Structure 1
């Protein structure tokens, strides 16, 4: 069965790909808005892992609505959740199995049981979250054993995730101060190969 796995090039979605590989024909899919070309980092990671890659350009209105939500909230959670759900919808239009790298203890994005069932029922697909039973510690140990990663501050380690483009969209519309106020500094990872 063909599985479209939402893929950022980071450790979680990369580990999810390795876990699904024995069961599905996995294609790593990066959803973006065409704001930056940082999604190319995800293509490089997919190549390094040996998986086919596809990119889907989503409607810019999704990014604008998410950016507005984050600016109003003063934090990224709900905006990133909106984008993730829109990306799942986009992948569900093309694949019979849709997967992502969400973990048990993720704050955002998450996929509730209701959202997963709605996605499956409306599109006639299977939604799979192979890391949903794994906490951060378990993921980190598996990543250390199976993947080679680069890490650093989110502004310095771009990958093909929503955050990079949403930051840029906000910067274009409201300036760098709004981006700094909304997004906390945190470590990003980008996969560069298998261990």
Structure 2
């Protein structure tokens, strides 16, 4: 059975792919808006890990709405959550099984039991979050053993996640200062292969 796994090329979605590969025909799926071509980094990581890749283009209207909300809120949380849920919906329209790399201690995105059940009921799919019982320490140990990772400040790591495009949209509408006001400094990862 084919599983569409939302994929950013980061350690969580990459580890999720490894955990699911013995049970499903995993396809790594990157949702994007067409604002940048950073989805290509996710494609390259999918190739390095040995998985097929697909990209799904989300509506530009979603990017417009969530970046306006992020600017109004002064932080990215609700915007990232909305984009993640839209990406799951887009994947659910194409796959019988959809998955993501959300983990137990994520702040955002998170998928509540109610959202997961709603997605399953409305689309007739199975939703799987293989890392939902894993804490950060367990994930870091598994990643260290099985994946080759580069990491750094969020704006410097080339990856295929929503944040990169949302940053670009905010900068084009309101300038670089708005990006720095909305997004806190944090570290990101990009997987470049298996150990």
TM-score by length of 2: 0.99
Alignment deviations for residues 113-172 of structure 1 (CA, whole Å, 9 cap, x no partner): 000000000000000000000011100000000000011111110200000000000001
Which residue is 2:68 aligned to? Answer: 68
Deviations 1:19-57 (A, max 9, x none): 000000000000000000111000010000000000011
**Which structure 1 residue ranges, 5 or more long, are not aligned?**
none
Unaligned runs of 5+ in 2: none
Structure 1 CA distance for aligned equivalents of residues 89 and 190 of structure 2: 24
Q: How does 1:141-152 map to 2 (within 5 A)?
A: 141-152=141-152
- Paired position in structure 2 for 1:5: 5
Whether 1:130 aligns to 2:130 is yes
User: 1:86-126, CA deviations, whole angstroms, 9 ceiling, x for partnerless residues?
Assistant: 00000000000000000000000000000000000000000
1:188 and 2:188 are equivalent in the alignment:
yes
Residue 37 in structure 1 maps to residue 44 in structure 2: no
- Between the aligned partners of 1:68 and 1:12, the Cα distance in structure 2 is 28
CA distance in 1, matches of 2:156, 2:114: 36
Say whether residues 1:121 and 2:121 are aligned partners: yes
- 2:103 corresponds in structure 1 to 103
State the number of aligned residues: 195
Task: Identify the residue that residue 52 of structure 2 maps to in structure 1.
Answer: 52
Aligned match of 2:174: 174
Supply the distance in 1 between the matched residues of 2:9 and 2:100 (Cα, whole angstroms). Answer: 12
Q: Matches of 1:79 and 1:37 in 2, distance apart? A: 20
Aligned counterparts of 2:98 and 2:62: Cα–Cα separation in 1: 20
- Which residue number in structure 1 is paired with residue 26 of structure 2? 26
Shift of 1:79: 0.3
CA distance in 2: counterparts of 1:139 and 1:86, whole angstroms: 26
Query: Runs (4+) of structure 1 moved beyond 2 Å?
Result: none
SS in 2 for 1:55: strand
SS of the equivalent of 1:36 reads coil
- How far 1:58 moved relative to its partner? 0.7
